[in-house]
Structure formats: structure tokens, C-alpha cells
Structure 1
Amino acid sequence: MEYAIKNTFLLIWIALFSQTFCNKIATHFSDPMVPVFMSIRRLFTVWATFIFTLPLTGFAHSSASLNIAWPVNVGELNPHLYTPNQMFAQSMVYEPLVQYQADGQVKPWLATHWDISKDGRVYTFTLRHGVRFSDGEPFNAQAVVANFQAVLDNKARHSWLELVNEIESIQATAPDKVVLTLKHAYYPLLQELALPRPFRFIAPSQFVDGTTKNGIKKPVGTGPWVLKETRYGQYDRFERNPGYWGEKPAYQQITVKVIADPTSRAMALQTGEVDLLYGVNGIVSPDMFDQLSHSKRWVTQVSDPVETSMLALNSSRFPTSDLSVRQAINHAVNKEMLVQTVLYNTQQPAKTLFAPNIPYADIQIQPYQFDLNLARQLLEKDGWHLPEQGTIRMKNGQKLSIDLVFTGTNAVQKSIAEVIQGDLQQAGIQVSLIAEEESSVFARQRNGRFGMIFNATWGAPYDPHAFIGSMRVPAHADYQAQKGLPDKKIIDAKIKQVLLTSDATKRRELYRNIMTRLHDDAVYLPLIWISSWAIASPSVGNLHFAPMTSDIPLNQFKPVRN
């Protein structure tokens, strides 16, 4: 851009000099020569005008860039690993065999066709012809097998996804044919192949020592974007993949600016530093979103509910190890008031772990109603009493005090945590708020160092099968929260059954049993059925929401031309 501006000023000077030069020369010649020099002057003018428009054209082209804000850098973008790799950025660079759609179905993507054996164990994929990685390497069956093998080489890390455990073999039978054989029929296979990780494809030349579990050389995928530059703590810059096989994005460049604080993100939007804020709430504070949505300067949009935000209550750590405490927490939080006062009615209060529009979740479960008196009664009955002139309940000499861990950069979590702290205080429960960086929060989820911690279901296409399947993995908050439950082994066994059964009726009954047990154990406090938010400058044009909540549909955004 700076180069284009300098050239523009240079060419303006040339144009003005040309006209002035011709005028002065013409005045020193006889009248018959004046038309000649005037013609020369007009020629210079036309030439200069033409040249002058070139940098402007280049400027307009170079301005086809989009600046967005994100709390952290996108990571090294290993398609087969997790945090700190950001899922939306992994999806920009890497692609799946099949793509998830808004209607819950999958469509051909890097695979154009697939056949399934009668017993449901063997899938034969036909690959799209003419696809290359952004470095020019061909995408073929050998590349697919190499990537699958890289995932399987790190099986312990990926075992939360049941598909990884069910793969028996992966073979290339032709340059465009891959045969995937399972141990058992597995109904969510195609949905799990569509996930943003781990079954996406990096150029095999970028493996380190023949695998990806210890890192990659460079993030080289088949997707529409290429990561060009990273400055830690500042930004990540993506450019359009010139050799992309599909429809190319309208934007030439995407800059992801690292802005950790939600207030600073809002200011960056208002000052024009960024053009778009997008995400599953927390991108700005709820009051700021409400303010921006009522301003004609910005375009704002709210998606349909996509996932559930909740607290995981640690059943193996005192005092949330008491069922009465977990039940009381569920009755003591006024979700309706929370949504009104904190979220400005931009979200819906959650009654259960999954919204009823989620597959298999339309079951009759009696929600925990807000009832402060009932919460107090449950605690009293279980021996949690208020001391004289005290405000915090005690039992056997121990205070009813619980820590609540949240991500400090998430404005919504902070606001909700403060409301929950106040609500539980009314029931005699002390809540200590712990705000930490995202990586530290994830570490606590993995090792169980929490009493209550923010968590969320994963949205489409993970819910319910992948999210429930991950409850058996110790590195997940759900496992840590549930491991103190008397029926934890039963829950895990039923999860295994539900993922492998090919009987739809039996599958529905198993899901009902699992969800009912988790509800009765009160191991979660469902808070809100959350929607994605998008806030943009009018120059971004129409806003779209991706079928998967982890994605940002950057390919669909088109700049408005003035």
C-alpha cells in the first residue's frame, strides 16, 4: 500500500510537469506550432491519466484485504494437533475429504465419491483430480494415507475421537482411491472426517521425521489460504492460495490481529484497525455488542443457538463432591435474569446440557428450576449450615467455598462468573473467581484443578456423539468433572455402546440413558444456549455464519465496492 501511494504521488508530479512543460514550450514558438505542442500536451495528459489509474487500480486490488481480531496467535497450524493451534485458522489452510453442511449432512470435497460396504466397515473414497498442495505437491491417495498414518501414530492424543480407535487400516489402492477399513461399523464416520482436526491434510514433505506428532516444517495445505507471516503477539497474515482448486476467495489477504482484551477489540473495530469481529460470544462484552448493534455504523448479526455454555462441577473435589452442593448450585443460579442483565437477551437460558434441536437430545428431562429456597433446603438437609451471624455455610468445620475458573480475556465469561458469584452467595456458597489465560484454563481442565470451570459443548457436527465420546478421556474437563461419580464406569460403558451400535432405536435409548444420568448427577450447570456474534464494517458486505461453530466463513465474505 505504501509503495502504491508513493507511485501515485510520483505520477501526479509527472502529469503536472508534462502539461506545464508543453505550455511553456508552446509560448516560445509561432502560432502554427502551438497546435502541435497542444497535441503533445494532450498526449501527455492521456498518458499520465492512464498511468495514474494503474496505482489506483493496484491500490483497490491491494485494499481487498480483511483485518480481523483474535485473542491469540493462530499457532504453528499443525493440522493434527490441538491448542495453541486455532481451529478456524486450521480450516483456512487444510481441507477434509468431506465437508459438513448447515443441514447436518456432508458433501463431497477432496473426495468426490465414496462407497460403503454392506456391513458398514469399509469405505472406499474416490479423490478429486487436479488438487495440489499450495507448494505444488500433488494431493493423491499416498498423501491421504500418510496423513491418516500420522494421526494414528499419535493415537493416544487423538483417542477422544472414537473414529481413531475404530480404524483398522488405511490403504491406497490407486492414485485416486483410498480404502478405509474399520473394526466395527461406526455411524458418525463421515461427520468426524469433516471436523477441523485431526483428519485434514498437510503436504507430506512438511512432516518431521515422517510424522507430525512432534511438529511440522511449514503449514502447507490444499485450502484457499496460505499462512505467509506470523509475528507473535501482533498478527498472523494469510494470503489467497493462487493455485487453489476451488472458487477463490474475494479477499486477497486476511490479517488476524492479536488483541487479547475484548474492550481493545471493540476499540480496534471503532477506529478502523479491524474490519470484522466474529465468534461464539466473548469477542466483545455483551453491553458493547448491544451498543454496536444499535449503531448504524456497524453491521451486526446473531446466529441461531449453536452450542451450550455451562460450568463443569468437579465431583471428585470437595465440596462439589457432594451431590447436594451440585444440586443446590443448579437451583440457585437465576439464568433468566443473567441473560437479561448480562447478555442483553442476545442468548437463550439453557435448561439442559444439550438444546432439544441437537440430535437425540429431544428427551423429556425435568430441568432444574431457579428456586433459591430449595437450594438452601438441600444444603441444610445435607448438613451445610450457616453459622450464627455468618454468610458462608459450613459442614464439619469446613467452609462451603468453591473456586470458579474462567478465561480472563473472555468478556462474557467474566460477566457471567460475577453474576454466579452473587447468586450463590445468596444460598450461602462462597465463590472465588480465578481468571487465567486460555492455555492455563485448558491445563486446569486436563488435570482437574478446579471446583467449577467454564466449559462448552462443541456444536455441529460434534454434538452429541463426539462431545459425549470425549467424556472418557482424562485430558478433558468432562472426565475430570465426572470421575467422582458413582456411576462413571456405567456412563463410559454406555458411551462406547452408543457409538458402535447400528440400531437407531437402541442408539436413541442409550443417549437418553447417558443424558439422564448426567442430568441427575448434576455434574453440569447449563447456563446458556449460545449463538455466534458477528460485527463488521459495512465494507465487509453480507455477514455469514459457518455450519461449524469453530470456523469463520472467510471464503464467503465479499468486500463492498464503492
Structure 2
Amino acid sequence: MKLLKKMSTAVLSIILCITLIAGCSSTKETSNNSKKDITLCESWNFDTGFFTVLSPNNIGSNYGPLNYLCNFYETLVQYEDGEIVPGLADTWEISDDGLTYTFHLKKGVKFSDGEDFNAEAVKLNLDNIPKMLGDFNGAYGATTTLIKEVKAIDEYTVEVNLMSPYYGALQDFTLLLPMGMMSPNAYNEDGTLSDITKTKTLGTGPYMYDGQKDGETYVFIRNKEYNRKQPDVDSFRVKVIPDNDAKILALRSGEIDAIIGSPNISYDSFNELSSNEDYKVKVSDAIVQTRLMGFNLSKKPFEEKAVRLAINHAINKDEISKNLFYGIEEKAEGVLDKSLPYCNVSVEQYDYNKQKANKILEDAGWVDTDGDGFREKDGVKLEGEIVYISGMAMIEDLSLSVAHYLKEIGMDVKVKGMEMMAQFGIIASGDFTMAMQVTNPIPYDPYLFMTRVNPEPLRDNLLAQGLKHIDNASEILNNLTCMTDENKIQETYDFVLKEINKNGAIIPLTNVKSLTVFNKGVIEDYKFFGHPDLPNVANISLK
């Protein structure tokens, strides 16, 4: 059996960046849209470049380009509405032993620089992706750690041989990061990235970037080599607007036409604009990810299961859904949405019951001995600190709300916002008591979740707390990686999801859906796609 390569704890930063960053969409330069030229918005700039293998070893912490990869790059297969459908490959076969994937490629496709898309180009990409990821290989799915050999059988047939079978391999091929196909000119002879990727896109998608920039606004044009269904928008701009309130002001002033992605808009603003006849609001059908709060079981008082169970019962998720998220984000019943593969697993629900939470604590010896409103036990105060990523829509409000509920059962909870990489570092080092997090967005989960929850090798020090009580958790999860029996895979998911719930170290809070708000005078409609929180310009219909 081939086990996943051990990775540095910095992998956590990659995975969480994937789950948290999202773009915004569309603005129009003038009220006259005859040229079909619109302007979009984004929180981060694109100065790190326009390649598909984004990881800390080549971009640092700026994941801004990730949000727009779908406009420039394509994968061999695509994820749409829970199904894997053709992409740059029309058809594919998987060998009975799960070791060989054969892709039959579309013919007549070219990259934006004029290079032919063919089997040799696919081989070059798949050979170089693991090398480009380096120490972070596996952070975006296990498949890149398992590739043994890639063969170009003929001009339009590629054979990928794995070192061991992997039940999530086909879905990994749908991931734009890192599986988006780039032109051979994106690579130097030694497989490193060419400097051209800093200023140009080199993909097969409907749009391209050729270096045009006006201050903090990037200009994107049609890919002249794109020979399939043409999108409605001819060209678009992306204006960098880091602050969410400033995005709303820009939308109202006509400077931008739309905002896409739940991290980019507060639910208050979304709700307010929903009643404004000048704008249309939409919510994705698909659940993108799950909001979670987790504990560090190595820190008092969270090593005690009674404390964790009491906290589970103390948080009113229904009230959070209604008051913070206007019912758009509904109460989460598990750490992974049931619609995901293998995740239709029923687990015990910790319903809101303040009286029960208080009794659990009292029975466990946690009492308020000095009358200050907070419980103690053996000289230890019932307290903790929730760390969250500042600047993300609604996360501070959510953290404060949870702190309020816990105060009502005699627990003193502080909240602390911090820069994204700082939070990742604290979690990785174990220097935290409580933390807010989200799962990976579809289509990364559930497969990537199962590698992150693995306590050895440690990839995510928060999620791994969920199985800390299981001595052979790593063996179970490493065996899962190379299973081919669907019944055994399902049995493993049943066990893992139920044990995470039973341990009470990870509290699922709400289910996140993607949001969009757009100017109805400019945009007729927007359709969410397989990565719902990422803006896909080809899915914009203009007036």
C-alpha cells in the first residue's frame, strides 16, 4: 500500500486558503453595454502570476488568482452538479484494479498562445505538477502523490498509472488547482515555471490575460484560440477592492456590477439588497462547505469530554442561522454535507439545550465557587479563546455569538481576529484553545477532508482533534486511501464521521452556500458552476 507523503504543517495554510478565498464579479465601465465589456472585483491582486499550481512555495500567501482560474484554464474532467463530466477529455476508462486512468482528449483544441493541446502537453503537466508542489504535494488531493508514470499513447490518448489505487482520483482530476492544463510554454526545460506565467495566462479556457493593467485593475480579453461555445461577455476587468463594505459602495455607484462568493458580502448587505429592485440576489443550490468550531484537546479544559459535550448543547445553531445568516446558511447536521459522496451518514444531534449543558458541567464538577459568573474545577477556570480570520464576512459576528452562548453556561470566552497565515500558524503549532474554520469547498471534499483529519501524518491540527481518541485512526485513514471496495469505503466513512461526532471536538455550525448580487440593468443572469464560490465569467448573461 502506498501511504500519502508526509507534508509540512504549512500545508494547512494551503488547504484553508482554498476554502476561504473567493472572488467577486462584474462591473461595467459605462452604462452602454454594447461592447459587452464589464468590470469585476477581487479582494487580492494577481501579482503572483497566472499559473494553476498555486502553493506557498511559489506564491506565498496571495491566492487571488485562484478565484479566476476557471476563466482561463480547464481540466481533463469537470465537476458539475455532483457529477463528473467531460472536460478536455471526451471519454475515459479506469482499469479494474484502479491503477490506470486512460483519457481520450478533445481534438482541435489550442492553448491561448497557439500551442496544440494534445497528449504530450497533458503528460508534461502531470509530470511537472508534483515537482512544482514540492513539500506541498498532496495538499490539493492525494492523486499527485500517487502518479507513477504518464504515457502519451498517441496524439490524443493519455494513460496515467498510479502506484496504488485511490478511490478519489477521478475527482482530483477536476480540481483547477493543481490540475488545470497549461501550455508547454508555461514550463522551463527543467520543469520549473516560466517567467511568462507572471504576466500571461496560458490555458485553453474562453478568456486570457496578456499583461494589460490599469493601476489596480486587470484587463482580460477573449482567448482567440477558443473554438467552442462563445460566452456573452467579450472582455472583462477585475478591480482590486480588498474591503467588503467598499465593494458594496462600488456596486451601488455602478463602479462594479456584481459580487460573487459568500466571503465577499455580509448577510446584512445581501439581505438589504434583496429588496432593492435595481439588483438581483441569488443563492447557490449546492452547499459549498461547512462552518466549524474546533477545540485543542491538549489544552485545559477541552481535554475533558464533558466540557466539549456541554458546549455542543450550549450553541443555538438555529438562532445563529436565523439571526446572522437570515436562514440562508442552515444549521449543519454534520461536519460534511450529506449530499457529498459517502457522506449520507446519520449522526446524533446535539440539540440546543442550555439546561442540559449546565447539568453536564455541574455533574462533572464545574461550578461557580466565587460568584463571578464563571465555573471552575480544581483551580482551573472554565475559559478559552476563539481565534478566527479577520476580514472574512460574518466570522467575527459568528465568534462573538458563540462566545455569548458559552457565557450563559458559565464559560469565559474571548475572541481574537488575526491575519489568515497567523491563524494557520497558531493552529499548526498547537498554541490555541478554540478556532473557527471551514471545510474545503466542493469539489475538494470529502476526499481532502479525510486526509486532513488524519492525525499521522499531521496535516491539520484542528481537524485531527476529531479522531484523537481513536488509537488506530491513522491506520484506518491510510487504508482508506487505497480501498477499491465501495462497501468498505462507505463503512470507513460511517465510522469516521460518527466518531468525529461522538468525540465532540469539532462542532459543525452552519452550511455555507455561495451568494451573488448583481446589477439587473447590466446583467440578465448568473449561473453558479461546479466551484460555486468562484466567479465564472462565461456563465454571465448580459442584458
| Bin for the TM-score computed over the shorter chain | 0.7 to 0.9
**What does residue 416 of structure 2 align with?**
434
**What does residue 494 of structure 2 align with?**
512
Distance in 2 between residues matched to 1:297 and 1:136, nearest whole Å: 42
Tell me the SS of whatever aligns to 1:119. Answer: coil
Higher helix share: 1
Please say if 1:183 is aligned against 2:163. Answer: yes
Distance in 1 between residues matched to 2:309 and 2:127, nearest whole Å: 45
Q: What one-letter code is carried by the residue in structure 2 that aligns with 1:163?
A: T
Paired residues in the alignment total 501
Q: What one-letter code is carried by the residue in structure 2 that aligns with 1:182?
A: L
Residue among 115, 119, 133 paired with 1:137: 115
| Structure 1 unpaired stretches of 5+ | 1-57
Q: Deviations over 1:462-497 (max 9, x none)?
A: 332222223338898744442585435523322223
Please say if 1:313 is aligned against 2:295. Answer: yes
**What does residue 546 of structure 1 align with?**
529
Residue among 91, 98, 104 paired with 1:126: 104
Tell me the SS of whatever aligns to 2:541. Answer: coil
Q: Deviations over 1:537-561 (max 9, x none)?
A: 011111211122343232111210x
Please say if 1:72 is aligned against 2:44. Answer: yes
After TM superposition, list the pairs within 5 Å mapping 1:402-551 onto structure 2.
402-472=384-454, 478-483=460-465, 486-487=468-469, 490-538=472-520, 539-551=522-534
Residue among 269, 292, 302 paired with 2:283: 302
Q: CA, structure 1 residues 407+188, in 2 after alignment: closer, same or farther (shift >3 Å)?
A: same
Q: CA, structure 1 residues 79+520, in 2 after alignment: closer, same or farther (shift >3 Å)?
A: same
**What does residue 282 of structure 1 align with?**
263
After TM superposition, list the pairs within 5 Å mapping 1:223-262 onto structure 2.
223-229=205-211, 234-262=216-244
Kindly indicate whether the alpha-carbon contact (under 8 Å) linking 1:159 and 1:473 is maintained by their aligned counterparts in 2. Answer: no
Distance in 2 between residues matched to 1:461 and 1:337, nearest whole Å: 29
Distance in 1 between residues matched to 2:458 and 2:246, nearest whole Å: 31
**What does residue 220 of structure 1 align with?**
202
**What does residue 366 of structure 1 align with?**
348
Q: What one-letter code is carried by the residue in structure 1 that aligns with 2:485?
A: D
Residue among 99, 114, 117 paired with 2:78: 99
Distance in 2 between residues matched to 1:348 and 1:233, nearest whole Å: 40
1:176 CA drift (Å): 1.9
TM-score, with length taken from structure 2: 0.85
Kindly indicate whether the alpha-carbon contact (under 8 Å) linking 2:310 and 2:357 is maintained by their aligned counterparts in 1. Answer: yes
Kindly indicate whether the alpha-carbon contact (under 8 Å) linking 1:316 and 1:483 is maintained by their aligned counterparts in 2. Answer: no
1:62 CA drift (Å): 7.0
Q: What one-letter code is carried by the residue in structure 2 that aligns with 1:124?
A: T
Kindly indicate whether the alpha-carbon contact (under 8 Å) linking 2:427 and 2:462 is maintained by their aligned counterparts in 1. Answer: yes
Kindly indicate whether the alpha-carbon contact (under 8 Å) linking 2:186 and 2:194 is maintained by their aligned counterparts in 1. Answer: no
| Structure 2 unpaired stretches of 5+ | 1-29, 56-60
Kindly indicate whether the alpha-carbon contact (under 8 Å) linking 1:403 and 1:434 is maintained by their aligned counterparts in 2. Answer: yes
Q: What one-letter code is carried by the residue in structure 2 that aligns with 1:73?
A: N
Tell me the SS of whatever aligns to 2:537. Answer: coil
Tell me the SS of whatever aligns to 2:476. Answer: helix
1:511 CA drift (Å): 0.5
Kindly indicate whether the alpha-carbon contact (under 8 Å) linking 2:290 and 2:439 is maintained by their aligned counterparts in 1. Answer: yes
CA RMSD of aligned residues (A): 2.7
**What does residue 273 of structure 2 align with?**
292
Q: CA, structure 1 residues 475+447, in 2 after alignment: closer, same or farther (shift >3 Å)?
A: farther
Tell me the SS of whatever aligns to 2:453. Answer: helix
Distance in 2 between residues matched to 1:202 and 1:353, nearest whole Å: 34
Tell me the SS of whatever aligns to 1:170. Answer: strand
Distance in 2 between residues matched to 1:244 and 1:518, nearest whole Å: 46
**What does residue 159 of structure 1 align with?**
138
**What does residue 44 of structure 1 align with?**
none
Q: CA, structure 1 residues 355+497, in 2 after alignment: closer, same or farther (shift >3 Å)?
A: same
Report the identity percentage. Answer: 27
1:231 CA drift (Å): 6.5
Distance in 1 between residues matched to 2:102 and 2:497, nearest whole Å: 34
Q: Deviations over 1:88-108 (max 9, x none)?
A: 212222210111121x22222
1:271 CA drift (Å): 0.9
Q: What one-letter code is carried by the residue in structure 2 that aligns with 1:112?
A: D
Q: Deviations over 1:318-349 (max 9, x none)?
A: 44333233222211111111111111112211
Please say if 1:173 is aligned against 2:156. Answer: no
1:533 CA drift (Å): 0.8
**What does residue 206 of structure 1 align with?**
186
Q: CA, structure 1 residues 351+105, in 2 after alignment: closer, same or farther (shift >3 Å)?
A: closer
Q: CA, structure 1 residues 68+452, in 2 after alignment: closer, same or farther (shift >3 Å)?
A: farther
**What does residue 11 of structure 1 align with?**
none
Kindly indicate whether the alpha-carbon contact (under 8 Å) linking 1:150 and 1:211 is maintained by their aligned counterparts in 2. Answer: yes
1:59 CA drift (Å): 9.9
Q: What one-letter code is carried by the residue in structure 1 that aligns with 2:405?
A: D
Distance in 2 between residues matched to 1:350 and 1:291, nearest whole Å: 25
1:265 CA drift (Å): 1.5
Distance in 2 between residues matched to 1:528 and 1:182, nearest whole Å: 37
1:250 CA drift (Å): 1.6
Kindly indicate whether the alpha-carbon contact (under 8 Å) linking 1:77 and 1:89 is maintained by their aligned counterparts in 2. Answer: no
Larger Rg: 1
Kindly indicate whether the alpha-carbon contact (under 8 Å) linking 1:501 and 1:507 is maintained by their aligned counterparts in 2. Answer: yes
Distance in 1 between residues matched to 2:188 and 2:216, nearest whole Å: 27
Distance in 2 between residues matched to 1:336 and 1:269, nearest whole Å: 31
